[in-house]
Amino acid sequence: MASASVATTYTVQEKKRPPFLVDLFLRLVREKPLGTVGGVVVIILFLTGVFADVLAPYGYNEIVLADRLSPPSARHILGADNLGRDLLSRIIYGARISMYVGLAGSAIDVAIATFIGLISGFFGGKTDITIQRFVDAWLCFPSLFIYLTVMAILGPGLIQVIMVLGVSSGIRSSRTVRSAVIGIKENVYLEAAKAIGAQNRRILTRHILPNVMAPIIIIFTIAMGGMILQESTLSFLGFGIPPPIPSWGGMLSGSGRTYMLQAPWMALWPGLALAIVVYGINMLGDAMRDLLDPRLRGGLGRYSGVKRKMPKQLSQA
């Protein structure tokens, strides 16, 4: 019974786990076909947005009066609008706007949610109560009301839209981060960190943040769909991104609506693009939630796989 031999008899597998995001990606592809489709939609959106200049056959504001209200044809695959602008090109440039709004808006959302959620959840007590009352008040207002008021003050524009949407839904989603932090706070390893003498900053960044990454990623993905949809709503109502910049929501409203009967394709394509993208992002978000939600996940060490099973006879009862 030499004690030196202890380590050699352990049966733990040598397999190295790939880094978190790589692992997540692999599991997405392997386990979630619908989520993968959503992911592909998102990638297509981004590629379209990034390479809009290359992909679009015409400029987004290139007016050819002769082609006014032209139905889909060889010259204009998706047709042209009331000013004779190529709809395909406008959809493609619209993807760029959606991408900006989706990415930047969600980034602001997540940054604010994480900041508020971490502070509120970690320090608790009076700090938490004060912050939460503010968040409560914010949640009392219908979001559209907030958007419209702020946009009316700031005036339309891409940056304004992103800021308003990001900040507003960031405050909203701080709730999720806060409850995740409070859940994490129960864990003894935070107490362990405190016991070794770690500073609050270290505890927040090294111990809490990595463990709330899952809800943050979920918030980011799901918020992206919401942002794009809300930007469209704002633009549809005329408070969003001013013409002639092509936003899918803006294309739906105004001329799209006016010429609904003469040229239905004017409203059809932006509506369809919006529906597909938002649906795809939501699928991706759902898949992320399934993959990341700790309640649905195993992997808590050696015993995780070994569920206590009753003998067959008993379990049939």
Partner 1 sequence: MAGNNHLIDVENLVMYFPVTAGVLRRKVADVKAVDDVSFFIKKGETLGLVGESGCGKTTTGRCILQLYKATAGKVLFEGKDLCTLHGENLRRARRNMQLIFQDPYASLNPRMTAGDIVGEPMVVHGLVKSGEYKEQVAQLLRMVELEPRMAVRYPHEFSGGQRQRLGIARALSVRPSFIVCDEPVSALDVSIQAQVISLLMRLREELHLTYLFIAHDLSVVRHISDRVVVMYLGKLMEIADSDELYANPVHPYTQALLSAVPIPDPEVDRQRKRILLTGDVPSPVNPPSGCHFHPRCQRTGDECREQEPELKLVGNEHWVACHRV
Partner 2 sequence: MRLIPYPPGVIVGGEVIFKGQDLLQISEEEMRHIRGNNIAMIFQEPTTSLNPVITVKVQLSESLALHRGLDKETAGQEAVKLLKLVGIPDAERRVEDYPYQFSGGMQQRIMIAMALSCNPELLIADEPTTSVDVTVQAQLLELINNLRTQFGTAVIIITHNLGLVARYVDRVNVMYAGRMVETGSTEVIYGQPKHPYTLGLMTSVPRLDLGRKRKLSVIEGLPPNLARLPTGCAFHPRCYLAIDRCSKERPELEEVGENHYSACFRSQDVKK
Kindly list the residues in this chain that would bind partner 1 in the complex (CB under 8 A): 3, 6-7, 10, 12-13, 16-17, 20, 187-189, 191-199, 202, 206-207, 210-211, 213, 299-304
Q: Rounded to whole angstroms, what are the CA distances from 274 to 62, 76, 80, 144, 232? A: 23, 20, 18, 19, 8
Residue 180: which residues within 8 A CB-CB, separation 6 or more? 117, 121, 212, 214, 215
Whichever of 9 and 299 has its CB closer to partner 2, that residue is: 9
Whichever of 201 and 302 has its CB closer to partner 2, that residue is: 302
Angle, helices 20-31 vs 33-50, to 10°: value is: 120
Of the candidate residues 30, 306, 309, 315, the single one contacting partner 2 (CB under 8 A): 306
Specify the amino acid at residue 170.
G
Whichever of 126 and 309 has its CB closer to partner 2, that residue is: 309
Smallest distance from partner 2 to CB 13, Å: 10
**303 sits near partner 2 (criterion: CB under 8 A):** no
Whichever of 51 and 189 has its CB closer to partner 1, that residue is: 189
Of the candidate residues 66, 74, 300, 313, the single one contacting partner 2 (CB under 8 A): 313
Determine phi and psi for 197, rounding to 5 degrees: 100, 20
SS3 197: coil
Of the candidate residues 9, 155, 197, 315, the single one contacting partner 2 (CB under 8 A): 9
Residue 296 interacts, among partner 2, partner 1, none and using kind-specific CB cut-offs from 5 to 8 Å, with: none
How far is CA 203 from its chain centroid? 27
**300 sits near partner 2 (criterion: CB under 8 A):** no
**6 sits near partner 2 (criterion: CB under 8 A):** yes
b (16+ CB within 10 A) / e for 68-101: ebbeeeeebebbbbebbbbbbbbbbbbbbbbbbb
Q: Which residues bind partner 2 (CB under 8 A)?
A: 1, 3, 5-6, 9-11, 302, 306, 313-314, 316-317
